[in-house]
Amino acid sequence: MSVLKKTIASILLLIAVPITVILSYTLFSNNRYDIASLIIAVLSTLAFVLSFEKNAANGKLVAVIAVMIALSVAGRFVFSPIPFFKPVTSIVIITALYFGGECGFITGAFSALLSNFYFGQGPWTPFQMMVWGLVGLLSGVLARYIIKNKLTISLWGIFSGVFYSMVMDIWTTLWADGGFNVERYFAFFATSLPIMAVYAVSNVVFLLLMTKPIGKKLQRIKTKYGI
């Protein structure tokens, strides 16, 4: 990827997406969160397209990412009877480890958007799209350190669970107070610790179970098609 393309993709994901989420708060009262979700989807898609190299493997990459998104959405459905215990974050991380941060971001963002057609769309959707996307982006950037061994993978799974919970607590605070209140945020943070623990544990479990088998297949695809 050229330096210019990489810079533009980074700006879209690290700056434009969070700004969209922040600005979307002013739309909540009019239930226009759908606009924010659409903008985030477009921005993540643009960053994903910018990550393409000029070769015939682009179509294969799109197909693989579509499969990973479908797997993530299906996993959220299958484990819906178990509160907060879902494979979504782990699948996003695995995608990013093997295909890069832009692919991880679009997998996370679209996993949230598409699965919420079943679980329910709302003002929380842009936050979920952003946080799962950022988990994917960071996983791609730090892939060489995360994938070293089971310990580093597990630690990243724990961090991702904590990060997801902390960002979603921002949404909870906004929803409860009609604005951001630091004291209320830390109150929600404290009460959500058990949920955060479940997020973290589920990430570790799914990462340890899936990283090696899925990773082998993804690596084989990368090698075979030159992705």
This prediction has a pTM of: 0.93
Determine, yes or no, domain membership for 163.
no
Alpha-carbon span 171 to 201, nearest angstrom: 22
Determine, yes or no, domain membership for 14.
yes
pLDDT of residue 103 exceeding 70, the answer is yes
Determine, yes or no, domain membership for 192.
no
pLDDT of residue 33: 83
184 burial (CB, 10 Å; 0-12 / 13-18 / 19+) is middle
Alpha-carbon span 187 to 198, nearest angstrom: 18
Determine, yes or no, domain membership for 32.
yes
Determine, yes or no, domain membership for 159.
no
In total, how many domains does the chain have? Answer: 1
Q: Comparing C-alpha atoms, which of 162, 163, 142, 164 is closest to residue 153?
A: 142
First to last CA, the chain: 12
HSE (side-chain half, CA atoms, 13 Å) at 65: 28
Over residues 12-23, the pLDDT tens digits come to 999 999 999 988
Over residues 57-77, the pLDDT tens digits come to 678 899 999 999 999 999 999
pLDDT of residue 84 exceeding 70, the answer is yes
- Range of 76's domain? 3-143+212-225
Determine, yes or no, domain membership for 178.
no
Determine, yes or no, domain membership for 96.
yes
Contact between 27 and 33 under an 8 Å Cβ cutoff? The reply is: yes
Determine, yes or no, domain membership for 119.
yes
